[in-house]
Amino acid sequence: MSNCGIIWLKETQLVTEVCDRMKQILKELYKCLKMSLQGNFGEVYSGRLRSDNTPVAVKSCKENLAPEHKSKFLMEARILKQYNHPNIVKLIGVCTQKQPIYIIMELVSGGDFLSFLRTEGHSLTPKMLVKMTENVAAGMEYLEIKKCIHRDLAARNCLVAERNVVKISDFGMSRERDDGVYSAEGGLRQIPVKWTAPEALNYGRYTTQSDVWSFGILLWETFSMGMTPYTSMNNQQTRDEVEKGYRMPAPHGCPMEISRVMNNCWQYDPKNRPTFRKIRAELNAIHNKIT
């Protein structure tokens, strides 16, 4: 990190501009800038870098947020700055010297995977859907090697790029641990219960294996064209039924091989769940088999 409070992962002519005129960052750093949506921490903008016309997304952090929330906002950048994988969204830079704080990332044109499934899913073949989930598995295999636990893997937290390439995003809850285990405290506030493994809900124990459970839910989301998992249940009912052994049936039209992968991801004992390396290989084989 430079003393101007910016992390730059590729050279541009913008560094001096940003350092000298932080108050005008949205004017000086980007052109064709417009607000895209409201994020968890502040507004999210889209635009292009002046230097090379690269499309970017800009996440802003509200100035009145508590320090601990600002720290969580920056966690995504701390995680992403180390990674380079075609199925993980890329970080371009972070502006931290003055308020508000900004995270600058590649702009992924197709929007979030969940919305894509709901609007475009019925026009996609099973083979195409398998390939998109294989993209996610490849990104998660990379994180598995890096000992990074995502903790919030879901279709809503993946993005669809050109040619339907899927990239994992939203690393705000992610943690890196040498032993591959993260223990969380503070109850169930803001935990996505229907996507979270039993051991994480019951004991706050997060591992790559708990991410595997979440990937099984993402598979179900994909082949249901973006339906909400455990549709007829609330969070507490979902927890209770999963503890009793209930597992969602495969969506209509889902290939049998995909259903098997889902159920393997939902093994109650984390040790019995497959690795992402194995999942990616299985999905690749299924993709090659489907005509």
Query: Could you tell me which residues are annotated as the binding site for ATP?
Result: 156
Q: Considering only CA atoms, which of 81, 19, 25, 80 is closest in space to residue 49?
A: 25
Q: Which residues are catalytic?
A: 152
Q: How, if at all, do strands 158-160 and 91-95 pair?
A: unpaired
Feature table: binding site: 156-157, 170
Q: How far is CA 284 from the centre of its chain?
A: 21
DSSP string, 187-216: TTTT--GGGS-HHHHHH-EEEHHHHHHHHH
The secondary element (H helix, E strand) that includes residue 32 is strand 30-38
Annotated binding site for Mg(2+): 157, 170
Residues paired with residue 219 on neighbouring β-strands, in sequence order = none
Alpha helices by DSSP H, the chain:
15-20, 25-28, 67-80, 113-120, 126-145, 198-203, 208-223, 235-243, 256-265, 276-289
